Every structure is written in C-alpha cells, then in structure tokens.
Structure 1
Amino acid sequence: MSPADFTYYWWIGVGALAAGLAVFFIRKSAAGPEVRQSLRFPSWCVAAAAALALADWLLSDFAPPSLFRHASSASLALALGRLFVLAFFDAGIANRLGLAAERIFRDILQGVVYAAVTLLALSWAGVQVTSLLVTSALFTAIIGLALQDTLGNIVAGLTLQVQQPFEVGDWIQLDDGRRAGEVMEINWRAVKIFTLDCEQVTIPNGLLAKSQIVTYTKPTAVARQTVFVQAPYGVPPERARAAILEALRDTPEVLTDPPPVVATFDFLENATVRYAIRYFISNFARRELIASLVRDRAWYALDRAMIETPMPLSGVEFRRPRSPEAAARQAAAEAEKLLSAVPLLACLSESERMHAARGMLRRRYASGETIVRQGEPGEDLFILEDGAVRIEVDGLEVGDMRAPDCFGEMALMTGEPRSATIRAIGEVTARTIHRDVFCDLLRANPGLSEAFSRALAERLEARRAGLEAARAAAAPSLRMQEKSSQLLAQIKRLFALN
C-alpha cells in the first residue's frame, strides 16, 4: 500500500470514527425528534463516504483517477462539519461556554463550514481556488447589488445579536406602537414575534435596526402598567385614591413591591376627575387580563365608597324624580326582610330590625376579593344579600358561607380582631351594620345581650368544629410534606450536597 493510499484510508477510518462518536454524544446530550431528524443528513453522508471508499478499493481500475476518493472525502467532510455545528449548539457546548446560541449564528457557522468544504472539494478536483475567487469579483458585485436588502438584514441581524437589545422570550414593541409581541425566533433575516391576538408577525432585521424598540421585560421582568378611572368633581381626591388603593391590596398578579399608586391625572370638561392607577406586573403576557381585573376592582371599590362613576352624556333624558323618602322606605323594607332571615338576629323585634335596617349600607365585591382579613380590627357585621364567600383561617380553607348568613359578629360584639379571612366566591353583595347601631339596640333593650351571647357561643362552637375538621383533613398532606423535608435533609447530609 502506497503512502497516499494509507493516508486516504486513515482519513476515512478516523473520520468515520469521529463522526460516530459525535452522533453518540449528540443523541445522549440533546435527545429529541428535531435532533434525530437533524442527524439524518450527516449519517447519510458518512454512509456515502464509506460506500465510496469501498468502491474506490474495488472499482478503482474502472473509474477516473481519484473520483471515489474525492467524493468520499467531501461527503465525510460535510458530515463532520454538520456534526460540529449540532454538537456545538444542540448538545449544549455553546451554553457551557457562555456563548449565544441563536439561530443566526448557527446558520452563519454552518454556511462557513459548507463553503470551506466546497472549496476543499474543488481544490481536490484540481480547480485553482485562488484564481476562481479573484475572477469572480464582478459576479460577486452583481449578486451583492441584487441581494442588498437581504445582506442588509443579515448585517442588521448580526448587530442585534452583538448588542442583544432583546432575546427570545422578551416582549417588544416598535416605535409605531401597533405591534407588540413575544419574541419567538431571531434568525438571519428577520425576527418573529407572537402577539396577544395569536398572530405571528415577521419583522425584517433591517426595519428593526432603523426603529426604536421598547423592551418590556428588560432589564427585569417587572413592567409598569397604567389604568385610568374617573370620579365626580365633588368627591375629594384623597377619598377616591384611598378607596382604589384599598381594592388593589389583594389583586392577583399585581406586585406589592414596587407598590401601586393612584395619581390625580387630569380635570375633564364633563365635571369629572381622571385618576391614573399605576401598578407593576411581572407577567407581561397577561397584562390585558390583569388590567381588566384592576378596572373591576376599582369599580367595586368606588361603588362601596358610594362614589358614582360618571357616565358620558350623549343626549337629554326627561324623567320624574323619585321621592327620597319613598326610596328610603323601600330600601329599609328590603333590609328588614333580609334581617328577618338571619338566624343570629332572630331575637330582634320588628321595630328593632327596622332600626337596624335604616343604618345598613350595601357593598358589592368582585370575585376573589378579600372582604375582611384575619387579625384586623372590625366594627361591622356583614350580612350576605347575594352570593357566597370562602372562610380561611391561618391560610387554611375551613368552609364557605352563602346568603343570607352573616359574619364578623365576634369582632363586632367582643372587640377582638377578625378571627378569619373572608373572600368572595363570584360577585358578592353584602349589607353592613356598624357597631353604633347595636350599641343603640343594647342600650334600649339590655336583655338582647344575653340572647346574643347564646347565639355567639353556638356559632363559635360550630366554627371551631369546622376548623378542627379542616385541620384533620389537611394533616396527612402536612405530615407527608414534613416527612419529605426530613428525608431530603438526610439525603443532602449523606451525600454532602449543598
């Protein structure tokens, strides 16, 4: 065997072995259907190189000189070049080195590898590569002029990758203010974003390079949002702002740090004041749903504070005003009917119920809103007129309550802090009675105190039984969690894990 033959077969053998090891490494490090599909091309190239090497050994006397050797060497070089790119990006080598693994870099590196293999194959075939590159300058200029937009997008894409104003997963918006979406892909020609309308928008890199880009999720995922509401001129701004801020305390997905603020934004011509609710979120993809929830909470807060939301005037309506006395009598009759259905207040006479009804206030709450909080002081009794609420003690759900039941009696009668947290299940309408009303009733009829004490004792015993049952139901899961934590600590100590 001549030295040239030995060098050739050594190259084929070592190259095939290296390709096999690379395939094994990639399949082990990046298992998945896309990776397996990407391995088909280099696998076929290795198989073709082996077949061509075998043909060179058997049929070299019947073929042009070096035909099989050049073809097999080029096939093996293509396979190794493709496997190098797959191992570098898909097998995680780039991530371990802290390098970007965007698609544009993959495509450029793959193109460089293929170009190098092509030039190497032409050199093996006897083509003067240097002369070819020099004489093709005119052809290159023509191609450059024809593809100047494409080349501009490629250069802009490289610039975006170097500067990295955004990454895949960020939310961006161009300066036109119309297109905002999550970045799904950054390639050599364009950036693809996915909007909240479930539309995929492809933006050329050249356009991005010329536009002002707003990135909502950098440098952190925290983004400020603004919602506007209006209130009448006659309502003091401090009162309106306090009512809205109170409603935002437990709004889901609204961050408490930084805290939300309510600012007096503008004075409008229709005798209203516009307020700006500024709050922060960390899940920008749900910004519209969170904004809707903030508007709902603001509406219910203003309604409970008896602040009427101004309506736009588009016409003139003539109607006979209703007598305030008649409206008050009807409201008192409805409240007295509700009080007669509450077991806790069964000891009240009809006149006492009418006295309590005249001091009642109606309040409405949004779904999931906290009505009272455990540990806070309370001076109101809440009577459910419509809807249901959930009872939580120390974060544990102990039951629910439906109209026409009541809650808040212990804090009202004993002065103790609230013993439970009450949250609305769906929309809830409740009536409240202040402690001053009960003070008048007890002073007028001291015997009511004994009746109230018996009723409170019965309700307290029922609540205690419900709490014990809820804690007993939750005990197995709590014990399982505690046991799991203990075993985890033992495993970490045994194997010296941090």
Structure 2
Amino acid sequence: MLSVIEHIIQPMLWAIGTYAVLRLLIRLGRRIGLISGLSILGQFLALSSAGLIGLWSDQQLEHWPLLTKILQTTVTVSIIAVVLHIGDQLLVRRLAADGRPNAIPRLMRDIARGFVLLMTLLICIGHFFKVQIGTVLLSSTVFTAVVGLALQDLLKNVIAGIALQMERPFMPGDWIFIDVQTGYGRVLEMSWRAIRVKPRDGQVVVIPNTIIAQQQIINMSATGLPVAMRVAVTVDCVHPPMMVRELLKEAVLSSRGVVAQPEPFVFVRNYTAFSTTYEVKCWISNYDDFPQLQGDALSRIWYVFQRQGIHFASNEMVLTRPEQASRQRRLDYTPEQIFDRLRRIKLLDGLHEQELRFLSEHVEIRLFERGEILAHQGRHEHILYAITRGKVRVEVAHDDQPAIVVSHLGAGDVFGERGMLMDEPRSASVIAEEDTRTIVIERHDLAPLYAKNPSLAERLGVMVAERQQATHNYLEQQRSVNQNPTPSPAARSITERIRDVLLDLSK
C-alpha cells in the first residue's frame, strides 16, 4: 500500500514543484519585461514540463512512449520559442537605445522566429518519433494543397507584408493617407497580416497588407523634411494685394511651428466683385500637430489683419470712409472709453483733460495674441504702446547669447518711449505672454500737445531715464560683472533730445 502511494505522491510532487518553479520564472520575466504576451505558451510549457518530469521521476518514460515523445517535442519547441522571444525583446531594446527602433521590422523578426520554430519542430519529430521528414513532406502533397487553398488569403497578406517590409514605403510613426473617408493616419504597427493605423479622430483602423500593397500611398513623414501647409483667406477687394501678401507672410512666419526655410509663398487665387482670395503655402516641421498649427496660423492672421485694418470679405459691398476706418481700428471703442483708459497711463498724468481727449480721437487699439512679438530689438519704430489688458515680457539679447528676460509689464505700463521720442532703435524685444490689448500712440500725435505744453518733454525725459537705469541695473546684476556700472544718461540730456524731436515735428 505504501509503495502504491509513493508511486502516486512522488511524481505529483515533482510535477507540482516543476510547474511552480517555471510559473515563478515566467512571472519574474514578465515583471522585468523580457516575457510579455506569452501567457498561453508559458502555461503550456509549465504543464508539459511538469508532466515530463513527473514521468521521469517515477521512471515511467518507457511505459508511456507516445506520451513521452509528445511531451519531449512540446517542451523542446516551447523552450526554443521562449528563448527566441527573450532574444527578440533584448534586440528591440538595443535598437531603441541606439536610436534605431525600426531598423529590423517586426514582420521580418516574426518570420525568422517562425522559420526557426518550424525547423525545430521538424527536427524534434525526426529525432523523437524516428520519422523521415522528407518522406512525410513528399507524401503529403494533397494535404499541402488543401491547406494552401484554405490559407491563400492569409498567404497573400504575408507575402504582401514581406514586400512592404523590404521596400519600406512607410514605417511605424509615419503619417500616411488611408482613404478619402478616413483621411490621414499614423502607422502604429506593421504585422504579418495587416497594418494598424490611428487617424486623428482616435480610432484604430486595421488594413490588410494586400489592400495596402495595391493602392497609392501618400507618406507625409518619409523624407524628414518640412511639410507644406496651405491656408486660404478671403478679404475685401479694396485692400492692395501687395500689402495683404506681405501681412500674410509676416503672420504665418510668426505662427508656431512654421519654419523660415523654405520661405512661405503667398499668391492670389481668385477675384470677385467684392473679395479677393489669397492662399498661403508655408512649411511646418512637425506634421503630428498639423490641425493645431493650421488653426494657430489662421488665428495669427486674424490678429495681424485686425491691427492693420484689413477686413475679411462679406457678401455685400461696403463703402468705408477714411474717418470710419479710423474708428474701426479702435475696435468699436467710444472716444469716452479710450479717454478713460488714457487717464490711467502714468506717463500722461500731466496732460489736461482737453489734451487727453485730443489723443483719444487719434490713437488706435491693437490686439496681440499670446506669443506674438510687439516690438523687435534693433528695429526703428516710432510707436508708444500702453497696455490696457494682458501681460508681456521684455527680453534683451547681446551678441550670440540667449535673450535675458529683464522685466514683465502689465495693464497700465508703457513701452516704446525711446523709439518714439528719441528716434532710437528698440533696445529690447517685447513678447505677449497672454492675449494683450494696447493703446498705440504714434509720434505725430504728440506734436500738437508739445506745442501747447512744453513741459511734456521734461516729464517724458524723467520717465525714460528711470526706465533705462532700471534695465541697466538688472543686466549688470545678471552678468555678475565686478565692475562699476556705466552711468546712464542724465534725465536732462534725454529731455533735450526729446524736446528736439518734438520740436522738429511741430514745425
């Protein structure tokens, strides 16, 4: 009785121990990422190995020859499959670390593994079952023909997949054109049967390799060079084409993602009795964000047109007088509203009410989008900006060094006084950090006020000197130079220069 129990318990313990050890090793391999997606194969390997070890421990291999041969073949093929899978994972990691994740396509790796497994299976059958493989293959012609006919569609996809992998018209990560209904999609994976593509709507489309091999493929990512982006706008026909084309070019160049080379090209596409349609062809470096970049370009065009008084076309012909155009550039603000905002500007504290009302009839309101440059360092611009809403940063660049942010300005602050009053180039660049609304005062708007109030030059001179000294001190602090700072020009000398400029204008 004890002998019978021993013959039952001992093989079971060996089988259970083998199964537990193999399952533990497989789980460890999954945790470190070397064995993934092999749940069925891992279970099969553990069970087959447990059965084989159980028979071996009880010396029952000779008593169960057919079962032993089947288990030996199964275990051998399973071990080779796991080893090939681990080697494939290590190869993928090495290629990814070298920056070549798609150097060996998955389909080619799968075919290589399948060939090795097939050869292993044939060798095991010949070795364990003592069968002549050549004879078996030659005698199974009819069976092979039946299987071939049943799997002809699958074989077509495999052959088409091999051709695609060898030619490589696209790779995972590329954007390709699928069809008119789906549009463009990003290639996620190329397998032995099909490719998986993800359109911009978020769904995943599985396309058999035979269909891909037979249709025209448009690859937007093949060359690695910038990709063309087109936007079209229709404006009122009263605006000169040359001016509109220059504004469109300026707008798209300042938009996010648009590269300077190749240079954007703007052309007139169509005329009607009331409108002119322009098309802008520019280039972007990242096709992944194509819809967002196209929307940003159109948004930037709106802001530029709004500031320059360019009107989009309507279905009716509208005749606009010059004084009406001037009022439209104030965004439909009433003079009283502009006057109220001018009173909040510190620079204009000394002006009388009549002088402020005079300015409110001549100034403009301009909008700037986040990221737009309001003023460029080094340019000659005779405009003073007063911020009524929003926030900007002031940057100064020296030589080839990165630009330094010297200050931030918000509602109530002004900039551009040196260029307007002293005829100097911009000493810094000003960039909008959020959507910003400004009051624009041009140099010739101040000439009549100076003729009536000469003390305006003194007030402006003091403010310019204070702003210049503050910027100078900040830059000296950033450079950490152990030298005495160079003194800024005195307020009196600045005042004299401002007085000369305003005096020339008032003549």
Report the TM range for the smaller structure's normalisation: 0.7 to 0.9
1:38-91 CA distances to partner (integer Å, 9 max, x unpaired)? 599579849956984785586267525586467436523541354135325633
2:445 paired with 1:437:
yes
Q: Secondary structure, in 3 states, of the residue corresponding to 2:197?
A: strand
**Deviation per CA, 1:204-251, whole angstroms, max 9, x where unpaired?**
111111111111111115211111111111111111111122223332
8 Å CA contact retained: 2:61, 2:68? no
- CA gap of 1:327–1:59, structure 2 versus 1, over 3 A, is closer
Equivalent AA in structure 1 for residue 129 of structure 2:
A
Let me know the Cα RMSD of the aligned residues.
3.6
User: Are positions 1:378 and 2:381 aligned together?
Assistant: yes
Matched, 1:108 2:115: no
Task: Determine which of 181, 191, 195 is the counterpart of 1:191.
Answer: 195
Alignment of 1:40-439 (within 5 A): 41=41, 45=45, 52=52, 55-56=55-56, 59=59, 62-64=62-64, 68=68, 71-72=71-72, 75-84=75-84, 86-88=86-88, 90-92=90-92, 95=95, 100-123=103-126, 124-176=128-180, 178-267=182-271, 269=272, 271-312=274-315, 331-394=334-397, 395-439=403-447
Cα distance change of structure 1 residues 85 and 459 upon mapping to structure 2, 3 Å threshold: closer
**Equivalent AA in structure 2 for residue 91 of structure 1:** L
CA spacing shift, 1:62–1:448, aligned 2, 3 Å:
closer
Which ranges of structure 2 fall in alignment gaps of 5 or more residues? 1-21, 398-402, 481-507
Q: Any idea what the Cα deviations from partners look like across 1:381-435, whole Å, max 9, x if unmatched? A: 1122332222223322233222232211122112222122212232222121111
Q: Residue 84 of structure 1 aligns to which amino acid in structure 2?
A: L
Paired amino acid for 1:294? A
Alignment CA distance shift 1:430-1:106 (3 Å) = same
Q: 1:456 deviation in Å? A: 2.2
CA distance in 2, matches of 1:52, 1:174: 51
**Structure 1: gaps (5+ residues):** 1-19, 473-498
Greater shift in the superposed pair: 137-146 or 339-348: 137-146
State the one-letter code of the partner of 2:370: S
Deviations 1:469-489 (A, max 9, x none): 7778xxxxxxxxxxxxxxxxx
| Equivalent residue number for residue 487 of structure 2 | none
What is the distance in 1 between the residues matched to 2:377 and 2:313? 34
CA–CA distance in structure 2, aligned partners of residues 324 and 219 of structure 1 = 51
- TM-score after normalising by structure 1: 0.77
Kept after mapping to 1: 8 A contact 2:264/2:280: yes
2:158, 2:192 within 8 Å by CA — same for their partners in 1? Answer: yes
Change (3 A) 1:383 1:257: same
The alignment-based identity, stated in percent, is 26
Number of residue pairs matched by the alignment: 440
TM-aligned CA distance change 1:397 to 1:330, over 3 Å: closer
Kept in 2, the 8 Å contact 1:260–1:280? The answer is yes
C-alpha change, 1:125 and 1:348, in structure 2 (3 Å) is: same
Distance 1:414 1:205 in 2: 70
Q: What SS is found at the alignment partner of 1:206? A: helix
Quick one: structure 1 residues 227 and 156, their matched pair in 2 at CA, closer, same or farther if it must change by over 3 Å?
Answer: same
- 1:153-190 CA-to-partner distances (Å, cap 9, x unmatched) read 11111110010001111111135363311111100111
SS at structure 1 position matched to 2:218: strand
8 A Cα contact 1:42 1:80, kept in partner: no
Bigger mean CA deviation after superposition, 139-148 or 415-424: 139-148
- Secondary structure of 2:283's counterpart equals strand
Alignment-mate amino acid for residue 449 of structure 2: L
Q: Distance in 2 between matches of 1:177 and 1:230?
A: 27
The residue number in structure 2 matching 1:458 is 466
* Code of the aligned partner of 1:131: T
Bigger drift between 220-229 and 119-128 goes to 119-128
The CA distance in 2 between the partners of 1:250 and 1:429, in whole Å, is: 18
For residues 228 and 380 of structure 1, the distance between their equivalents in structure 2, rounded to whole angstroms, comes to 31
